[in-house]
A and B are shown apart, each in its own frame.
Chain A
Amino acid sequence: MTVSTIMLIAGLILILTGCFELIRTRHMLKIIIALELAIKAVSMFIVLGGWLNGNMPVAESFVVSVIVIEVVVATVLSGIAISIYHKHGNMDIRSLRKLKG
């Protein structure tokens, strides 16, 4: 097996780990952590693609875009989690069902 195949398998396992945590937990911060974990594997895949094709500058620009979006998603979801905590006293994702509007 080549290095790239091993990286592919490790990335798939990381994505599965994030997906299983999304299924398992109902705590909003844990959900964000699971999403971040899956996004890390996707960033690794993009760099791996650039490394295999020999076109790393394009892959790097995509990874920078992914990182910016990742930070914005983490920030906004953390803000939503904190406002849910202030409103309901917990960070359970099921509390979102009680929102009106």
Chain B
Amino acid sequence: MNVAVYICLGAMLAFGFFSVLSRHLINSAISLAAVSAACGVLMYVLGAHTAAIFEISVCSGLVTVIFISAVSLSNGDKQASAPEKRAHLLPIILIAVGAVLVIAALLTGFSLGTHGPVGSAASFDNVFWETRQADIFGQMIAIIAGASAIVVFFKESEKQ
């Protein structure tokens, strides 16, 4: 299991850096999808099967489609290709921060612990549909608000 976790973490970091540093928005969007896929595999390995399926199908699929649609509806890719001179030391700073965190964890012997005992026998269905019903109503309202916002934005752009 550890090897799979390390591979997924490495893929998440590598594709995450690439999505940030890439000047082309399409490449950034596809790298973000790869980060989502690696995160989904990591969730599956850790035992969060339903969340992994949501992560891979929604974040890796739907969000990527939204980004690529937004790029194709504008010439956003050409604008993002312009060189940005702000914070060009970003990769060095990130590597330094990572090195400092690893060294601090090694020196202080910091450890989060290992996999604990199973706390509850409830399944995901019980928790999601019975214990956390308020979350479902919140999600429904958020989805309706998002859909309404998209309708309003596209109506305004058509008028202009």
Contact = CB atoms under 8 A, between A and B. Distances in A.
Interface string B50-78: 11001100110011001101110110100
B127 A47 contact: no
B100 to A, nearest CB: 10
A44 B8 CA distance: 11
B135 A24 contact: no
B13 A67 contact: no
Contacts of A3: 2, 5-6, 114
A69 B51 contact: no
Contact of A56 (B39, B47, B138): B47
Interface string A1-33: 111111111101110111011011101011011
Interface residues of A, number: 71
- Tell me the dominant secondary structure on chain A's binding face: helix
Interface string A34-58: 1011001001100110111111111
Interface of A: 1-10, 12-14, 16-18, 20-21, 23-25, 27, 29-30, 32-34, 36-37, 40, 43-44, 47-48, 50-65, 67-72, 74-76, 78-83, 85-87, 90-92
21 contacts: A2-B111, A3-B6, A7-B5, A7-B9, A17-B20, A30-B28, A37-B20, A44-B39, A47-B48, A51-B48, A52-B114, A54-B116, A55-B118, A56-B47, A57-B124, A60-B49, A60-B124, A61-B124, A65-B138, A74-B66, A75-B149
Interface of B: 2, 5-6, 9, 12-13, 16-17, 19-20, 25, 28-29, 32, 35-36, 39, 42-43, 46-51, 54-55, 58-59, 62-63, 66-67, 69-71, 73-74, 76, 79-80, 84, 86-87, 90, 93-94, 97-98, 101-102, 105-106, 110-120, 122-124, 126-128, 131-132, 135, 138-139, 142-143, 145-146, 149-150, 153-154, 156-157, 160
